[in-house]
């Protein structure tokens, strides 16, 4: 685990150090980067890919801020500054779920820095935002425990992964109560010229959103993974690694 100082906060991240850099933005918000600490992501390092996975501001081992710190603008700027501090002039960007919203915003702001864009189970908007807010991290955890089984297609609901994840009320409340209702990039999607891989589970509620992206985004390739839900890299890790590594290597 490493730490970068960014805009008065520290950002904790893991870095496999060698290979073509791929910055990975976890979903949530309110769920930390341990949601990506799984073989379906880690094993990309076996294919010459340098994995850089931060806990986004307010999550995991990164700084806790105030409500005003938890904005799309701040989270995207954090990703930009982390890449700059690491000396990454060109790199791939992966975003899962809410991380995909941020990855698309990043691609619209700094497309010249990206070699590849990988979006997993996400949307260009609009997205129906949950209306609930939570007074504590434990309340967020309880909420995600309720919805967790819905995120997987198979009988195995991967509770061992759930038990490793940290949950955080501050960024969750800010993201879903304020930021997400204003999120809609559909009119700007055709501006993105970066090669784009769209990966989605057949049973993911975001399937139609990803199909829309495949139709309207330039240079986009859609991969629908059968018998998988919102975490295709968990339920079908070998297929996810094969498709993603091939995309990053240009095969």
At 65-118, the pLDDT tens digits run 999 999 999 999 999 999 999 999 999 999 999 999 999 999 999 999 999 999
Residue 185 has pLDDT above 70, yes or no: yes
Please give the pLDDT value at position 67: 95
pLDDT band at 251 (very low <50, low <70, confident <90, very high): low
Please give the pLDDT value at position 250: 84
Rg (the chain; Cα; Å): 16
Can you give the CATH number for the domain in which 168 is found? 3.40.50.1820
Query: Which is higher by pLDDT, 206 or 130?
Result: 206
Sheet containing 49-54: give its strands across.
Answer: 2-6, 9-15, 49-54, 20-25, 91-96, 114-120, 196-201, 220-225
pLDDT tens, position by position, 138-153: 999 999 999 999 999 9
pLDDT band at 129 (very low <50, low <70, confident <90, very high): confident
Query: Which is higher by pLDDT, 250 or 134?
Result: 134
Please give the pLDDT value at position 41: 98
The answer to whether the beta carbons of residues 54 and 70 sit under 8 Å apart is: no
Total count of domains within the chain = 1
- Using DSSP's 3-state secondary structure scheme, residue 227 falls into coil
pLDDT band at 59 (very low <50, low <70, confident <90, very high): very high
Cβ-Cβ contacts under 8 Å for 163 (sequence gap 6 or more):
none
The kind and range of the H/E element at 237 are helix 237-249
Over range 116-125, report the average pLDDT.
98
Residue 31 has pLDDT above 80, yes or no: yes
Range of the domain at 171: 2-249
- Using DSSP's 3-state secondary structure scheme, residue 222 falls into strand
Residue 169 has pLDDT above 90, yes or no: yes
Q: What average pLDDT is seen over the chain?
A: 97
Please give the pLDDT value at position 84: 98
Over range 189-208, report the average pLDDT.
98
Q: Kindly give the pairing relationship between strand 49-54 and strand 9-15.
A: antiparallel
pLDDT band at 219 (very low <50, low <70, confident <90, very high): very high
Please give the pLDDT value at position 130: 82
Q: Kindly give the pairing relationship between strand 196-201 and strand 114-120.
A: parallel
Over range 175-192, report the average pLDDT.
97
Q: What is the largest CA-CA distance in the chain?
A: 48
């Amino acid at each position: 685990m490493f730490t970068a100082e960014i805009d008065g906060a520290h950002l904790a991240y893991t870095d496999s150090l060698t290979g073509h850099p791929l910055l990975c933005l976890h979903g949530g918000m309110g769920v930390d980067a341990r949601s990506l600490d799984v073989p379906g992501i880690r094993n990309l390092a076996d294919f010459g890919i340098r994995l850089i996975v931060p806990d986004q501001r307010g999550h995991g081992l990164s700084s806790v801020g105030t409500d005003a710190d938890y904005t799309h603008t701040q989270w995207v700027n954090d990703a930009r500054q982390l890449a700059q501090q690491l000396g990454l002039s060109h790199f791939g960007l992966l975003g899962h779920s809410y991380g995909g919203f941020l990855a698309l915003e990043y691609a619209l702001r700094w497309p010249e820095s990206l070699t590849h864009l990988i979006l997993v189970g996400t949307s260009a908007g609009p997205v129906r935002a949950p209306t609930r807010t939570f007074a504590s991290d434990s309340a967020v955890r309880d909420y995600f425990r309720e919805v967790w089984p819905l995120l997987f297609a198979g009988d195995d609901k991967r509770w061992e992964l759930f038990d490793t994840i940290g949950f955080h009320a501050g960024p969750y409340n800010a993201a879903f109560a304020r930021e997400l209702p204003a999120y809609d990039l559909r009119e700007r999607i055709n501006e993105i010229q970066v090669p784009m891989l769209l990966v989605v589970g057949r049973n993911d509620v975001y399937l139609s959103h990803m199909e829309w992206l495949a139709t309207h985004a330039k240079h986009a390739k859609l991969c629908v993974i059968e018998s998988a839900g919102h975490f295709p890299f968990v339920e079908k890790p070998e297929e996810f690694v094969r498709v993603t590594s091939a995309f990053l290597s240009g095969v």
